[in-house]
């Protein structure tokens, strides 16, 4: 038994610091994600790289997942964990919408996500941004980092790439931005993160959620506002 333990431990220690927290073979969306509120809605944005260690498992993934008609989330952390979480929240939200006969609030989606993340914090690796539009509060963004806190914010950043662009976003963000300004900001910021974070890359996907509906767009990997190359 002790022999086996040691053998396993050796196999485990062979992993790099980057992948040590993952289960064997688990994929991780080492990521840059972002969401910005504007008058009447939110903009969500994500890169498209999914990696295992330093291998790019998927270079055009979609990390923006729909939770309800006007409510979306950006996923970061373990791909498996965040997929399971979004599936649960989607399920509960649709039940709730049927029961109450009205559109669910973004707040409710965020609280459901928070509860799942908090109560299972020992077994999850998930940092999620929930954003969307609802008839009560309009455009709303909640950040739910690893550990399951839940914090409403005018804009949110997440994923490994976010650390490289806090300064940029702090400098460029203003209150009461228009939809187009918000879109330009998230594209620029995420492009810069992708240029410096090895675990972020590929294309930029954006989503605008408003009362009128959801508009998807993407910036191809060779048409980015900045990078991947640079100084």
Partner 1 sequence: MASSGSGYDLSSSTFSPDGRIFQIEYAAKAVENAGTALGLRCADGVVLAVEKPLVNRMLVARTTGGYTRSTSTRASRSRVSSATAGRSLTGRGRRRAITRRHHGTKIPPATLSSRISAYVHYFTLHGALRPFGASTLVAAYDTGTKRHSLHMIEPSGVCYEYYGAAAGRGRQPARTEMEKLVVNPSRVPEGGEMISVSEGVRQLAKIIHSLHDDAKDKPFELEMSWLCEGSGWKHEGVPREIIAGAVEWAKKEIENEGENDEEGDDDEDDEMEE
Partner 2 sequence: MSLSLQSGGAASRALAPPSTARAIADQGNQMTTRPITTGTSVLGMKYRGGVMLAADTLVSYGSLAKYKNARRLLSINSRTLIGAGGEYSDLQSIADLLRGNALNDRCTADSLYEEDNNEECAGEVWSYLRAVMYQRRNRMNPLWNDVVVAGFRQNPDGTTTDSPFLGVVDKIGTAYEDDVLATGFGAYIALPLMREKYRPDMEEGEARALLEDCLRILFYRDCRALNRVQIAKVTMDGGVLVSEPYELDTYWDFKGFVTNKGEMGTDGGW
Q: How far is the CB of 110 from partner 1 (least distance, A)?
A: 7
Q: In whole angstroms, what is the distance from residue 6 CA to residue 16 CA?
A: 18
State the residue for tokens 């040590």.
20
Does 216 contact partner 2 by CB under 8 A? no
Torsion sign over Cα 45, 126, 29, 92: negative
CB closer to partner 2 out of 11 and 136: 11
Q: If you search the block for the tokens 């903009």, which residue do you land on?
A: 43
Tell whether residue 102 is a contact of partner 1 (CB under 8 A): yes
Does position 109 interact with partner 2 (CB under 8 A)? The reply is no
Q: What is the DSSP string of 25-84?
A: T--EE---EEEEEETTEEEEEE---EEETTEEEESS---EEEEETTEEEEEEEEHHHHHH
- Give the nearest distance from C-beta 30 to partner 2 in angstroms: 4
Q: Look at residue 213 and give its three-state secondary structure.
A: strand
Sign of CA dihedral 46, 48, 49, 50: positive
Q: Is 20 in the site for partner 2 (CB under 8 A)?
A: yes
91 binds, among partner 2, partner 1, none (CB under 5 to 8 A by kind): none
Residue matched to tokens 């270079």: 59
Q: Is 23 helix (H, G, I), strand (E, B) or coil?
A: coil
Q: Using CB under 8 A, which of the segments 16-24, 50-58, 110-118, 169-177 binds partner 1?
A: 110-118
Q: Which of 132, 139, 158, 201 binds partner 2 (CB under 8 A)?
A: 158
Could you say which of 160, 206, 210, 214 contacts partner 2 (CB under 8 A)?
A: 160
Q: What's 131's DSSP letter? A: E
Beta bridge partners of residue 156, listed in sequence order: 35
Note if 29 is an active site residue: no
Residue 135 binding partner 1, by CB under 8 A: yes
Applying CB under 8 A, among 56, 59, 107, 172 the residue interacting with partner 1 is 107
Q: Residue 173's closest CA among 153, 191, 193?
A: 153
Q: Which position among 6, 19, 29, 31 bears the catalytic label?
A: 31
With a CB cutoff of 8 Å and minimum separation 6, the contacts of 96 are 104, 108
Q: Which stretch binds partner 1 (CB under 8 A): 67-75, 108-116, 121-129, 193-201?
A: 108-116
Q: Select the binding partner of residue 25 from partner 2, partner 1, none (C-beta < 5 to 8 A, by kind).
A: none
Which residues form the interface with partner 2 (CB under 8 A)? 4-5, 8-9, 11-13, 18-24, 28-31, 51, 53, 76-78, 114, 118, 121-125, 127, 143, 145-151, 153, 158-160, 162-163, 166, 198-199
Point out which residues bind partner 1 (CB under 8 A): 96, 99-102, 105, 107-108, 110-112, 115, 135-136
Catalytically active residues, by annotation: 31
């Amino acid at each position: 038994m002790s022999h086996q333990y040691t053998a396993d431990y050796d196999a485990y220690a062979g992993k790099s610091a980057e992948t040590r927290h993952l289960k064997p073979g688990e994929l991780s969306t080492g990521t840059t994600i972002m969401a910005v509120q504007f008058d009447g809605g939110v903009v969500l944005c994500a890169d498209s790289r999914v990696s295992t260690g330093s291998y790019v498992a998927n270079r055009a993934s979609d990390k923006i997942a729909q939770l309800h008609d006007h409510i979306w989330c950006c996923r970061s952390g373990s791909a498996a964990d965040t997929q399971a979480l979004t599936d649960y929240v989607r399920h509960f939200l649709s039940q709730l919408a049927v029961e109450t006969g009205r559109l669910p609030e973004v707040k409710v989606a965020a609280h459901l996500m928070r509860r799942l993340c908090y109560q299972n914090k020992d077994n999850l690796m998930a940092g999620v941004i929930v954003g969307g539009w609802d008839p009560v509060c309009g455009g709303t963004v909640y950040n739910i980092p690893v550990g399951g806190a839940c914090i409403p914010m005018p804009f949110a950043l997440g994923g490994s790439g976010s650390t490289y662009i806090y300064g940029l976003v702090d400098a460029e963000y203003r209150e009461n931005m228009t939809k187009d300004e918000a879109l330009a900001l998230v594209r620029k910021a995420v492009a810069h993160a992708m240029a410096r974070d090895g675990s972020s890359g590929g294309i930029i996907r954006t989503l605008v959620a408003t009362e009128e509906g959801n508009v998807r767009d993407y910036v191809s990997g060779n048409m980015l506002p900045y990078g991947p190359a640079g100084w």
